[in-house]
A and B are shown apart, each in its own frame.
Chain A
């Protein structure tokens, strides 16, 4: 569903993404991991058609990522979600429905369903400028799902969410993937990636270091510790760490 072939992105002389290959299949929940500045958000922006690759191909649902058809398939939750301050949450969802050209009657039912799912009934008719970060995040999630996307791309999904909303969102990722959507999430919470993801990709300096299931990654790296240890080992930050020793244990030492 998401295909990247030899994708490179240059910003001047800086190589943000370097010959990246990636495939995320329908029904798969893919966790995209990497340290800050590794090229995750740049890759996600190319998948969403917001940036054009310098070289290589990015396809969504078989279409070029910059095409209108690809964007119609896509639900995108950025790391810094955008909402119109002077619209209410419900008006914003109605606007998204219009932009995706959905049937109004069906979309209205879908909006009500999402308001229930994300428990937004108390504030959905207030202006977005009065929302907390968590409320905004919930509205943005609802807007990304209102058109029932075939591909869901989420950048740092759990920032600002309270534990209850975080649980709802995590369950939602899994249910989206099980209902046949391809879900790609960039996340720094490795425990969540370990728990939810079908496959994991670790990227650093714009290059894909490794891709596979957690078991495959462990086997390849010959490492039996947690995903956190594996991540630190692969990204070169596991300084003086013994296998199985967590970051907290190292901090205590």
Chain B
């Protein structure tokens, strides 16, 4: 008596681009639905969130602008400030981002039911890791945008940098998110 060994079943390969697009579409739909839901259901809450964010951003901007203008009375801001203050500021932000990203990646990858769900689909583990890593970076870097952009804009205005500097600062901060 001989036992027939079943042939492995082969299905057509998944296009990696399609998985990536599906994950992007997933995030986009979640954001759209969240915003729609907030607008429809809790207008006061979203208005308060926007108002508080604007007040916080404006407060930081005024603080940085006043600080830079005061310092510029005593030192050559364009050269000295970049070397000392900015280096320290961005170094401390980097350390903060490093730890917060580590903690968030740990929770979003190993303690997440979504990750377990995605791993049961045919999506490659690399793709899932990239998706969750990008999410973790986004979650941990929003503070950088909130703290970094008023600082850069205030600095640009104080040293009378060209308009492109402000645009670049804002876009760099947004891209980092």
The answer to whether A and B assemble together is: yes
A228 to B154, CA, bound (A): 75
Task: Check A63–B9 contact: CB distance below 8 A.
Answer: yes
Within 8 A of B (CB), among A91-124: 91, 95-96, 98-101
Task: Check B113–A80 contact: CB distance below 8 A.
Answer: yes
A69 to B10, CA, bound (A): 7
Interface residues in B, total, Cβ within 8 A: 31
Task: Check B121–A100 contact: CB distance below 8 A.
Answer: yes
Highest count of chain B CB atoms <10 Å: which of A48, A88, A100: A100
In the complex, whether B171 has a CB less than 8 A from a CB of chain A is no
Contacts of B30 in A (CB 8 A): 84, 86-87
Q: Which one of B7, B15, B33, B122 lies within 8 Å of A62 (CB-CB)?
A: B7
Task: Check A101–B14 contact: CB distance below 8 A.
Answer: yes
Interface residues in A, total, Cβ within 8 A: 30
Given A63-B8, A68-B14, A84-B26, do A99 and B21 touch, yes or no (CB 8 Å)? no
In the complex, whether A72 has a CB less than 8 A from a CB of chain B is yes
Task: Check B122–A101 contact: CB distance below 8 A.
Answer: yes
The prevalent SS among residues of B at the interface is helix
Contacts of A73 in B (CB 8 A): 9, 11
**Contact flags (1/0) for B7-49 with A, using CB distance below 8 Å?**
1111110110011011001100110011001000000000000
A195 to B26, CA, bound (A): 40
Task: Check A99–B123 contact: CB distance below 8 A.
Answer: yes
In the complex, whether B74 has a CB less than 8 A from a CB of chain A is no
A101 to B22, CA, bound (A): 10
A111 to B8, CA, bound (A): 28
**Contact flags (1/0) for A71-90 with B, using CB distance below 8 Å?**
11110101010101011100
Q: Which one of A71, A88, A91, A150 lies within 8 Å of B120 (CB-CB)?
A: A71
Contacts of B11 in A (CB 8 A): 69, 72-73
A50 to B115, CA, bound (A): 10
Q: Which one of A62, A91, A95 lies within 8 Å of B9 (CB-CB)?
A: A62
In the complex, whether B124 has a CB less than 8 A from a CB of chain A is yes
Task: Check A61–B9 contact: CB distance below 8 A.
Answer: yes
A140 to chain B, nearest CB (A): 10
Contacts of B29 in A (CB 8 A): 86-87, 91, 95
B117 to chain A, nearest CB (A): 4
A200 to B26, CA, bound (A): 39
Contacts of A49 in B (CB 8 A): 119-120
B48 to chain A, nearest CB (A): 20
A71 to B122, CA, bound (A): 5
A90 to chain B, nearest CB (A): 11
Name B117's closest neighbour in chain A (CB-CB).
Answer: A82
Question: Can you report 12 A-B residue pairs in the complex whose CB atoms are below 8 A from each other?
Answer: A61-B8, A63-B8, A69-B122, A78-B116, A84-B26, A87-B30, A91-B29, A95-B22, A95-B25, A98-B21, A99-B121, A99-B123
Residues of A within 8 A of B (CB): 1, 48-50, 61-63, 68-69, 71-74, 76, 78, 80, 82, 84, 86-88, 91, 95-96, 98-101, 127, 150
